[in-house]
Structure 1
Amino acid sequence: MNDKRYNLFSSHLKALFGGRVHKISVDAGLSCPNRGATRLRPGCLFCDPGGSGAVGIARGAQVAEQIEQGKEVMRRKYKAQRFIAYFQPFSNTAAPVDDLRRLYDEALGVEDVVGLAVGTRPDCCPPEVFELLAEYHRRTYFWLELGLQSIHDRTLEFLRRGHDYACFREAFARAREQGLNVCVHVILGLPGESREDMLATADEMARLQVDGIKIHLLHVLDGTPLGELYRRGEIAVLSQDDYVQLVTDFIARLHPRTLVQRLTGDGPRDRLLAPRWSLKKWEVINAIDDALKQRNMRQGSDCRLS
């Protein structure tokens, strides 16, 4: 643990590598089965047309070039010494194995890159891909990042995710069989979900003892189907205080060994419709830290495992 009262991923990296390690987001040029090969179908309700994490990526450049540009930024802003290549937008296992190997090898060939993180969907991981990912797990520091968002099938259907929770469970089990580190992405504040629904997702993540978790705030971007619903007044977003208290309860229910990789989400300023308070990211994180202290809670303090 650390003074943050949760198992902070950056502290884990610093202890493991002996210095600052930062992720650099990379666009592999791949697509998503929920959007079509040309990326033109609307896909999930909340998805940015450019894919998640599209801001700041040198789109169209080779993988190595993207990483070199990212290294300059991370060294200047954070004094980073080593880097993890994070294949982030769209589904980064949606290609033939030979193509994936070429992309991953190009990233690992860049100086000071000490690991890989591969983001994808649970319905995008056939057996041959898991075998490939297991090779990289043996070769380097490696994370598989799986987008789940919610354990509730009615929510996944509303979001047009194109998979159910059983599909995630199958992918998660296969990843565990290969010994992979798995970081699960969830979203808090999804339409139709109660506080109890969202905390049930936390309880299930604790039961699975996931290796890592990214907690995202539902934020609404212009140009997305969710944005249209918001403009018509058909959905609402959480207040900052409600979100802070919810995250505090969520953290307390997680397994104490799970690495917390994210506590909130923010979108590009020029396209963010709501909530605008999410732009003050560090203010939100500090409020979560304060709430944990005020409520005398920490990660795992309310874990519901029998």
Structure 2
Amino acid sequence: MVKAIRAHKTGGPDVLQFEDITLPQPGPGEILLRNRAIGLNFIDTYFRSGLYPAPQLPFVLGNESAGDVLAVGPNVTEFKPGDRVAVVSALGAYAEERIVPAASVVALPQAISYEAAASMMLKGLTAEYLLHRTYKVKPGDTILVHAAAGATGLILCQWGKALGATVIGTAGSKEKVALARAHGADQVINYREEDFVARVKEITGGRLCDVVYDGVGKDTFMKSLDTLKPLGLMVSFGNASGAVEAFNLGILSTKGSLYVTRPTLNTHTAKRETMVAMAKNLFEAVTSGKVKVPVNATFPLKDAADAHRLLESRGTTGSTVLIP
């Protein structure tokens, strides 16, 4: 028996229960992992609330964690017991131990802590595909990063700056503005005090942005279209304020033949070799110092509901991890 956080129904943070579960032995192609740190992500709240349907009830939340291999199933040759690893996989991370497909596991360099790894696998790999695959950021580009003081936002700001882009961020408080600036953003707009569209036009001298990275969703999507150059790309990768509503595609033509995409990490990591290459790129960015992953809060696993409340209140900056 191991301890885990499960939801027997969807709803608010109160549906999260700290209870015993039984795990089977790892099957063919599987690994039994002892979690040392577990990442907290907005997508966890989507599954908990029912916005994203869980495959069954009850279910264990969470997608990313880091720890040690306890046992391997048949046909697993790349890993052995005792290996330090990190993983982004299907639901099941909010537990002391979990079974994961070996195909979703990557070796964790000694230079990266369990806490940092758990806090950056989903967010860092998301930043990797956003900056290198969805739109390949190059020197001279201007990028707009919403929620720039959030965990993914801080990585996007640092890495975008390292790639030679001018980085404009948005944030909702003076403290968050300062944090985003400290992590590479050239300009940060407090969206509670200023119209971010007008400020982007002012900052860029009317030239606008090549790409917008928007994990906020409903509250920012339509206005963000007005910050893009003709042929610019609107990347909607999250719904922190709610899902983006249907809109008239003709708007994209009137605003300059814009492109819109809604990418997911799962699509980008579907091929093992691509996921390993993405993780290698991310780990190199971190170990080289180009990207720092601040873990600004930790909670005991049993207090996951409190962590969810803080996250949904926009009370977090950087990454938050759960410790079994």
TM-score between the two structures when normalised by the length of structure 1: 0.28
Structure with greater strand share of residues: 2
Structure with greater helix share of residues: 1
TM-score between the two structures when normalised by the length of structure 2: 0.27
Give the greater-gyration-radius structure (CA): 2
